[in-house]
Structure 1
Amino acid sequence: MSAHVAVKDLRITAGGKAIVDGVSFEIERGQVLALIGESGSGKTTIALALMGHSRFGATISGEVRLGETRVDRLDDAGLQALRGRRVAYVAQSAASAFNPSRTIMAQVTEPLLVHRLAGKEEAEARAVDLFRALALPSPETIGARYPHQLSGGQLQRLMAAMALITRPELVILDEPTTALDVTTQVEVLKAFKVAIASVGATAIYVSHDLAVVAQMADSILVLNQGRTREQGAAEQVLHAPADDYTRTLMGAARPHARSAPAVVGKEALLKVEGVHAAYGKVPVLRDISLSLAKGATLGVIGESGSGKSTLARVIAGLLPRSAGSVSLAGEELPKGLEGRSREQFRRVQLVFQNADTALNPVQTVGQALARPLAFYHGLKGAAAEAEVARLLDLIRLPAHLATRNVRQLSGGQKQRVNLARALAARPEVLLCDEVTSALDTVVGAAILELIDELRRELGIATVFISHDISTVRAFCDQVLVLYGGTAVEQADAAAFGRGVHHPYTDLLTDSVPEMRAGWLEQARTRKAVLAGESGDDLCRFLPRCPVAIAGTCNAAPPPLRSGDGLALLCHHELHDLEGMSA
């Protein structure tokens, strides 16, 4: 039997350069092929070629076949009939894919109506069935809502519903869970697997998260600079790779504890005590306290909306705290930007998550780095050029990039420049806000190693905000777990590794995919045991807690349990939690 999808000697060129060069593969009906590799390896370019689509100015050659259809030979009318009907696409950012002025139902049913595959009533009935299959809340009524009324995870599943409603033959999933936190990602992945199987679709899954690939893919194609490095069954590629480059990818996907411990000071350099913060009248942080010594790293973890980035903004002064204090080397910092001196700005630097928006695209790398040198240290001319060269060497970039425009850099290079700009101030505290979340595995691992190396060399105290628990375990001396703006757990690295955790931390760790097939189906689903909402004085996690105690957790605020490097808010004793975490 011939393959459902067949690609032979695919070549895509742009500006005279081959960005995909001689790629071939086949997919049997109902199977999932994962395309993996670093940014710029051609993953998305290949996936879109299966829809007959290429970026402006690029040309596609080679054979692309879906069933008996030669996609590479279709004219515009043929491609229009193919897209959204026989081939569907699920993008990385659902929020930007929806029209904010139209209801969800109108947008999800549109492919059926445009291709005249069903009337309005039948289309809406099919949509409700998909909402149910994708485990969306209130499937009968959620279609009446607008995009802004839904969470990121819900929008991602609704985007899948829009893609699957025509019952396509081929579904292309392009990094569909990258922007989601770990707990939401598990729910979405489970829903995707069920929904894709329900319509009997073949699928291509584009991702740099190898643990996710292990849950979704039957086979894997490894790409590097537009060429195939290895392909085979998922189990073989993930656990017995034959190619050196594939082995590099696998190694980068498993963070290792740093080889040499940093020299950590004894006195607190950064001290946060009883901090509260709000956006308008909405409280976001509640009574946060932490202490960080010179050269130490604090990892802050939690789901989206837990207050991680807000904490960094409060420390940096971008969001004024409403109560509490933030001190640096014993000196209390003003609440917001107003009142802070240039020297106080210099000593605390924030590295933003998205280098594309943090850097000015019309500046050269040299100009981006020269500005803080002039502002904080008065360096200009030859002295500034020498310091720019030193900074580029520090972040392992060649000196000639100083004349390169920022927009000409790769994602990893931009993030290194983003880091160098903060280091140009010669800070004492570095706040890193999800600095690797938008990067592929290899580049992300390199950035983490660089930050850790610089921390050891320069003695910078680092607050590392992340949703990647494996990275936090490998690189951080202390861990702070936030839920609903409250610190539900704090621990040093040794205590965090021993495995006694707050029930919320258990949920986070249980939601991190393992690089083995079948993990997703075996992942524990822990449900709340008590109905009702959490009051201001009660445990913030109560509405989701699987081990809540009736008459206690819903009646009194949780006490602070502490011992041997660990502190957490819970009514359960620490020895009881040890058994629950197992």
Structure 2
Amino acid sequence: MENLVEIRDLKVEATTDAGRRIEIIKGVDLDVAPGEIVALIGESGSGKTTIALTIMGYARPGCRISSGSITVAGKDMMTLSERQRAHVRGLEVSYVPQSAAAAFNPSKRIIDQVVEVTRIHRLMPLAQAKAKAISLFRALSLPNPEEIGNRYPHQVSGGQLQRLAAAMALIADPKLVIFDEPTTALDVTTQIEVLRAFKAVMKKSGIAGVYVSHDLAVVAQIADRIVVLRGGDVQEVGNTADILSDAKHPYTRELLSAFEPKSRGESIVVAAPEHAPLLRVDGLIAGYGPLQADGLPLVKAVQEASLSLERGRNLGIIGESGCGKSTLARSIAGILPASAGQLTLDGHELARSVRQRSREQLRELQIVFQHADTSLNPAKTVEEILGRPLKFYHGMKGKVRDARIDALLDMVRLPKTLRSRTPAELSGGQKQRVNFARALAAEPKLIVCDEITSALDTVVAAAVIDLLKEMQRELSLSYIFISHDLSVVEAICDEIVVMYNGRKVEAITPAISKIPQHPYSKLLFSSVPKLDPGWLDRLERDPELVKTYVQG
């Protein structure tokens, strides 16, 4: 059978800010057969998205395809004019981005944008295009398929918008669809519905796919073959089942082992709890908007949350986007003052607002945010970022401060040569380690970690989790871990609090029982993909639970 896509000896160059050219794709070969879905797996910077985009004859700004051949449906993309390539992109190859919101114009109705490609290429009358769009909405399991297209992008959920982006990609009956991490930003419960819809439509229509991801469990559910990439090179290629069960390359095995972090018992020695908890939260209410007559906010993102954390132990808080977990974290840290409730740290009452807390209380409770990019000052060097809390909390300066900065970098496994660099000169994993080192500089008792691994690749995230465990052993820290990644939370936390719609619905102790009791908890835990190609096909979820709790 002739391949739909054939890439031979592909090389892509990038130009640095200094004008130097570096090779980022180093002679890659890739085949995709008609109707086959091939996954490109690897960490950030591995080249997976760059390779996927070259199939459309496209290179990112600052990059160029320097050599090799790219054939799509018998057409040499390297020799086509830009106008001819645009025709191929519209009709034979389509693209579903990671952020569906970026693919839609917020000022236009969804249906008009979904059918636009049929108008540009004059494929069919408008009425026929709209009827086809509605049939795709139905096939992609979207609610109210006849009506949803009349809405604007901001009027649908993230999971719905991701499926609408797929409808836009599929409406011209392409031979190949490129999916660029399309479920990364979705909640785990929504992700399953989106994956099912993608898989069903692709299989029914016999459409080939290239699926870019760093999540092996997601890829296991949809891909026929996996191509493992690192540093612009192919490390291993094989059938999905073979790669997952019998990986040959050491890097592939590293990816697989990183997918399931080591359990708490293997790496964390938990201190014996003292009589009084380190942190106690009682009846906390927090939210947004103007205060009402009762003194409570208009929008209550957290409603009467109560929890406690013993010294030397870790508490995980999980739930879908909008459940209130990050609001709870910010309220505990005092960044978003609670409207009601009581906070106690190490036996002393905490003021609700960070501005009213003592310097010692600020030192004892630190928070590390999800996006190091926005929480680190881009104009400051690593040395300046780490030096500020050392001066503020401990009055350190001169050689004493310099020695402490070196010690902090050693703690988080960063070389001292990074001292003079700014955040823009660091990788995502390095930035998050600097973020963590800044919290450690205060010598806290408790660190609130708000989705700190969600933006990281699997391997990097696993390394950060190992670092957290090591720091806990050495410094007797406690953590509150906010996340939607259940495997990460289970690996590091002694107790897991499940939140839904601003409320704590259940507390689970993994060491005693991993069996959730609340219906939403059951749905959440059952929705975590497994490294098993048949898992999604066998998964049965209660339709009433999905209808009640999944907004995707």
For normalisation by structure 2, the TM-score amounts to 0.94
Aligned match of 1:69 = 75
- 1:370 paired residue among 387, 392, 400: 387
**Aligned partners of 2:280 and 2:307 also within 8 Å:** yes
Alignment of 1:121-270 (within 5 A): 121-258=127-264, 259-260=266-267, 261-266=269-274, 267-270=276-279
Q: CA deviation at 1:12?
A: 0.6
Distance 1:120 1:384 in 2: 68
Cα separation, 1, equivalents of 2:152 and 2:278:
46
Q: Deviations over 1:26-75 (max 9, x none)?
A: 11100000011111111111001111111223221201111110112222
Q: CA-atom RMSD, angstroms?
A: 1.6
CA contact (8 A) 1:306 1:485 kept: yes
For the 8 Å contact 2:178–2:209, the answer to whether it is kept is yes
**d(CA) in 2 for partners of 1:220 and 1:107?**
32
Which amino acid in the other structure matches residue 3 of structure 1? N
Does the 8 A contact of 1:275 with 1:325 survive in 2? yes
* Aligned-pair CA distance for 1:374: 2.3
Identity of aligned residues (%): 51
2:294 match: none
Does the alignment pair 1:271 with 2:302?
Answer: no
1:542 positional shift: 10
Aligned partner of 2:52 among 9, 34, 47: 47
* Code of the aligned partner of 2:125: G
User: Structure 1 residue 501 and structure 2 residue 507: aligned?
Assistant: no
Q: State the partner residue of 1:478.
A: 495
Which SS does the other structure have where 1:514 is aligned?
A: coil
Asked whether the 8 Å contact 1:168–1:199 carries over to 2, the reply is no
Note if contact 2:508-2:516 (Cα within 8 Å) is conserved in structure 1.
no
Shift, 1:255, TM fit: 1.7
Q: CA deviation at 1:98?
A: 1.9
Offset, 1:484: 0.9
Q: Secondary structure at the match of 1:14?
A: strand
Matched, 1:389 2:395: no
**Counterpart of 1:551?**
none
Flag the structure with more relative contact order, 1 or 2, with Cα contacts below 8 A and sequence separation at least 6: 2
Partner AA of 1:12 in structure 2:
V
* Runs of 4+ with >3 A deviation: 541-545
- What's the secondary structure of 1:338's corresponding residue? helix
Matched-pair contact (CA < 8 Å) for 2:133–2:171: yes
Indicate the larger mover: 318-327 or 91-100: 91-100
CA contact 1:221–1:232 (8 Å) conserved in 2: yes
What residue number does 2:305 align with?
Answer: 288
Query: Aligned AA for 1:8?
Result: R
Distance 2:195 2:7 in 1: 26
| Unaligned residue ranges in structure 2 (runs of 5+) | 16-20, 290-297
What's the CA shift for 1:191? 0.6
SS of the residue aligned with 1:161? Answer: helix
| Alignment-derived partner of residue 35 in structure 2 | 30
- 2:6 aligns to what? 6
Displacement of 1:218 in angstroms is 0.3
Q: Does 1:19 align with 2:19?
A: no
One-letter amino acid matched to 1:58? C
Give the aligned partner of residue 512 of structure 1. Answer: 528
Q: What is the CA distance between 1:544 and its match in structure 2?
A: 4.6
Counterparts of 1:334 and 1:33 in 2: how far apart (Å)?
54
Deviation of 1:244 (Å): 1.0
Cα separation, 2, equivalents of 1:271 and 1:544 = 29
Q: Which runs of no fewer than 5 residues in structure 1 stay unpaired?
A: 530-540, 546-582
Count of residue pairs brought into register by the alignment: 533
Please report how far the alpha carbon of residue 180 of structure 1 lies from its aligned counterpart in structure 2 after TM superposition.
Answer: 0.8
Q: Could you tell me whether the CA contact under 8 Å between 1:164 and 1:199 is conserved in 2? A: no
* From 359, 364, 377, the counterpart of 2:376: 359
How far off is 1:501 after superposition?
2.2
Aligned to 2:454: 437
